[in-house]
Chains A and B, each alone.
Chain A
Amino acid sequence: GAVVSQHPSRVICKSGTSVKIECRSLDFQATTMFWYRQFPKQSLMLMATSNEGSKATYEQGVEKDKFLINHASLTLSTLTVTSAHPEDSSFYICSARRAGGPHEQYFGPGTRLTVT
C-alpha cells in the first residue's frame, strides 16, 4: 500500500507556456502533500507544503505566483509551472502523508520537465 503516482512522467514544453503536474495518492487519503524539485546531481529541495482545502505554504525563495499548487481533494494535488523558462527544467517530485496514519511520507516517481 501507500502508492503515490505522478503524471506525466516526462514533459517537454516551450518557453513561456504553462505545465501542470498531477500527484495522486492511489490507496490512501493524504491530508498533506509536498512538492520538491531536484536539479542534476543535487539533493531534493522542498518547494511547498499543501494541505487539502487550504492554501499552500511555500518555502523561502519559491515564487508562489510561478508555481501554483492546488490540493483540491484528499487524493490529488497539482503543481502548475506558469510561464516556464529553461531554468525551470528540473525533476519535480511530490510526496504525500497519510491522513491519521503513520508519519512517513510516500513519494511519487517524479516528473522530468524540460523547457526548450
Chain B
Amino acid sequence: DAKTTQPTSMDCAEGRAANLPCNHSTISGNEYVYWYRQIHSQGPQYIIHGLKNNETNEMASLIITEDRKSSTLILPHATLRDTAVYYCIVVVWGNKLVFGAGTILRVKS
C-alpha cells in the first residue's frame, strides 16, 4: 500500500474550517484514501473514504486531486471535540489498515 505524508501538527480556531492535507504521490489506481481520527486514549474513529471523487458525509468532506496524488480532509466547523490525531491511510480495498504518525489537530477557542 502507498505511503502517505502528513504534517506533524496543525492548529485551528474553533468554528473555522480545518483543512488537513495528505500527500500520497505513489498511490495506485486501486487504492482508496481513508481518514480516521483518534481522540486521546480512545480507539480510532472512521471519518470518510474515497477513491477518485470528492466525498462528503455528516462529519467531513474529502477532496481528492484529479491526479489522486494528494487529498484534503475538511472539517467544516471545527469544535474543541475535534482535537485529535488524524490519520490518512491509503489502502487497497479489503487490505489491512496500516497507521502512520498522523496529524495532531489542536482546535483552540
Chain A interface residues (CB < 8 Å from chain B): 4, 6, 34, 36, 43-46, 49, 91, 93, 95, 103-110, 112
Contacts and interface: CB of A to CB of B under 8 A. Distances in A.
A43 B100 contact: yes
B97 A105 contact: yes
Interface stretch (B11-19, B43-51, B62-70, B74-82): B43-51
Q: Which of A34, A103, A108, A110 has the most CB of B within 10 A?
A: A103
Contact of B97 (A6, A34, A109, A110): A34
A9 to B, nearest CB: 10
Nearest to B91: A103
Contact of A109 (B43, B87, B96, B100): B43
A43 B40 CA distance: 12
Contact of B41 (A91, A103, A107): A91
Given A91-B41, A103-B93, A104-B34, A46 B46 contact: no
A109 B102 contact: no
Chain A binding surface SS class: strand
Contacts of A49: 96
Contacts of A4: 43
Q: Which of A6, A104, A108 has the most CB atoms of chain B within a 10 A radius of its CB?
A: A104
B10 interface: no
A106 B44 CA distance: 8
Contacts of A44: 38, 44, 99
B46 to A, nearest CB: 5
Contacts of A105: 46, 97
Residue among B32, B36, B93 having the largest count of chain A Cβ atoms under 10 Å: B36
Contacts of B34: 104
Contacts of A93: 43-44
